[in-house]
Amino acid sequence: MSRFPARFALVASTATTALVASASSALAQDVPGPGPGPGPGPEAVPRFPWFLEGIGAAVLTLVVGGLLIALVPDYTRRVTDRALEEPGMAFLWGAGVTIAVIVAAVVFAITVVGIIVAIPLLIAFALFALVAGEFGYLAVGRLVSDDWLPALGVAALVAAVVGSVPLLGGLVAFVISSVGIGSVVVDYRA
């Protein structure tokens, strides 16, 4: 039997599709540059308002977290239980794996041939982190209620608040996501 259920792959692919679909319209827009040259200048890169980043984080948590709960409820409960039982260990594993993947990608990218490995490695890890990081938010939601619906609501609210705060929010999001990533890694190792 596989360590990761087949439904986990379905959740990951659905989250990937949603992420690509939401980013494609923004990438297709051409923002005029400040001068008569081709392409946008450095000042032309748009920045989302603070509340839109929070809304985006909440929607992402609702979609991915809801899919995890609906498609792999036993696995989701087991991983969030692990996050609640050993948050420190889960954080260390999650942060360690994240740093190790980034360092490995940089080392691979130093050589021209290694770029062929570095880019897919970073893409695969970003997709993994997108889904696995949601376990951290669901674990925070389970601190309030053991029932999934209120836990998902709290997780989305926490994601919205964390996504809305500029600098400190990014740090808190890293910690919560690292706990989720680490919980998946610790569960896989068990």
The Cα–Cα gap between 94 and 181 comes to: 5
Angle, helices 115-144 vs 6-28, to 10°: value is 110
Higher pLDDT: 76 or 113? It is 76
Binned at pLDDT 50, 70 and 90, residue 160 comes out as very high
What pLDDT shows up at residue 42? 54
Mean pLDDT score of the chain: 82
Is residue 1 one of the residues assigned to a domain?
no
Mean pLDDT score, 104-127: 91
The Cα–Cα gap between 14 and 8 comes to: 10
Mean pLDDT score, 27-48: 53
pTM of the model: 0.75
Number of domains in the chain: 1
Mean pLDDT score, 174-183: 96
The Cα–Cα gap between 13 and 11 comes to: 6
pLDDT at 24 over 80: no
What pLDDT shows up at residue 13? 45
Domain containing residue 68:
6-189
Is 32 exposed, middle or buried (CB count within 10 Å of its CB: 0-12, 13-18, 19+)?
exposed
The answer to whether residues 127 and 15 touch, using CB atoms and an 8 Å cutoff, is yes
What pLDDT shows up at residue 1? 43
HSE, side-chain direction, 13 A CA sphere, residue 163: 21
For 74, phi and psi rounded to 5 degrees?
Answer: -65, -45
pLDDT at 96 over 90: yes
Mean pLDDT score, 57-74: 96
The answer to whether residues 154 and 144 touch, using CB atoms and an 8 Å cutoff, is yes
The Cα–Cα gap between 77 and 72 comes to: 9
What pLDDT shows up at residue 43? 55
Is residue 150 one of the residues assigned to a domain?
yes
CB-based contacts of 153: which residues, under 8 Å, 6+ apart?
Answer: 141
Is residue 100 one of the residues assigned to a domain?
yes
Is residue 174 one of the residues assigned to a domain?
yes
CB-based contacts of 179: which residues, under 8 Å, 6+ apart?
Answer: 83, 87, 90, 91, 94, 135, 136, 139
What pLDDT shows up at residue 34? 55
Is residue 138 one of the residues assigned to a domain?
yes
Which of 58, 64, 56 is closest to 156 using CA atoms?
Answer: 58
pLDDT at 151 over 90: yes
